Amino acid sequence: QSALTQPPSVSGSPGQSVTISCTGTSSDIGSYKRVSWYQQSPGTAPKLMIYEVTNRPSGVPDRFSGSKSGITASLTISGLQAEDEADYYCSSFTTSNTYVFGSGTRVTVL
């Protein structure tokens, strides 16, 4: 199972919006709503930010939102803040009853 495809990096100024894409196949993102997103700051464990494509866990700011169309999922950060600078990973369940992660995207706040 190959990793889902994410851009290596995205950047934006404080207050701007950035969108991270996550492209899979018909065997993963295209088949399920079991898509999630994780934030990882240096030296720390990943943190769930979005689950089931669009849902935010309690405590995650509403400037984080998710969507999906076909085999591509997206994470949008609206009103970018300095504390949002981190690595972001998507994940999807697959038709093989396994999971696959994205290659990861570094978000830089200019």
Partner 1 sequence: EVQLVESGGGLVKPGGSLRLSCAASGFTFNRYDFSWVRQAPGKGLEWVSSIDTRGAYIYYADSVRGRFTMSRDNARDSLYLEMNSLRVEDTATYYCTRGTWFDPWGQGTLVTVSS
Residues forming contacts to partner 1 in the complex (CB under 8 A) are 1, 3, 34, 36, 38, 40, 45-48, 51-52, 57, 89, 91, 93, 96-104
Per the CB < 8 A criterion, the answer to whether 101 and 3 are in contact is: yes
Task: Give the residue carrying structure tokens 């990882």.
Answer: 40
Residue 89 C-beta: closest distance to partner 1, Å: 5
Dihedral sign for Cα 77, 59, 46, 83, please: positive
Residue 82 C-beta: closest distance to partner 1, Å: 23
Residue 80 C-beta: closest distance to partner 1, Å: 22
Q: Closer CB to partner 1, residue 31 or residue 40?
A: 40
- How far is the C-alpha of 77 from the C-alpha of 51, rounded, in Å? 15
